[in-house]
């Protein structure tokens, strides 16, 4: 089942969103976005939990 995530659900004002075929692929895309656009070299566990709670079926 495909997954989708909208960054604006946890970072107010961010318009980025993505879809992927599974959660691993989704997290790869999210970490790349976090690094490039939010200057996060690694994603804190707290954020990972928030992201997981916002992942939706695409």
Interacting residues with Zn ion (CB under 5 A): 7, 11, 14, 16
What is the three-class DSSP state of 5?
strand
Give the angle subtended at the CA of 26 by the CAs of 20 and 30, to the nearest 5°: 130
**Residue 38 CB, nearest approach to Zn ion (Å):** 6
Quick one: 25 or 40, whose CB is closer to Zn ion? 40
Decide: 57 and 2 in contact? Cβ < 8 Å.
yes
**Residue 39 CB, nearest approach to Zn ion (Å):** 11
**Residue 9 CB, nearest approach to Zn ion (Å):** 10
């Amino acid at each position: 089942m495909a997954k989708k995530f909208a960054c604006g659900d946890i970072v107010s004002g961010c318009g980025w969103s993505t879809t992927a075929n599974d959660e691993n692929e989704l997290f790869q895309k999210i970490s790349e976005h976090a690094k490039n656009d939010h200057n996060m070299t690694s994603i804190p566990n707290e954020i990972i939990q928030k992201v997981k709670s916002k992942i939706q079926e695409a």
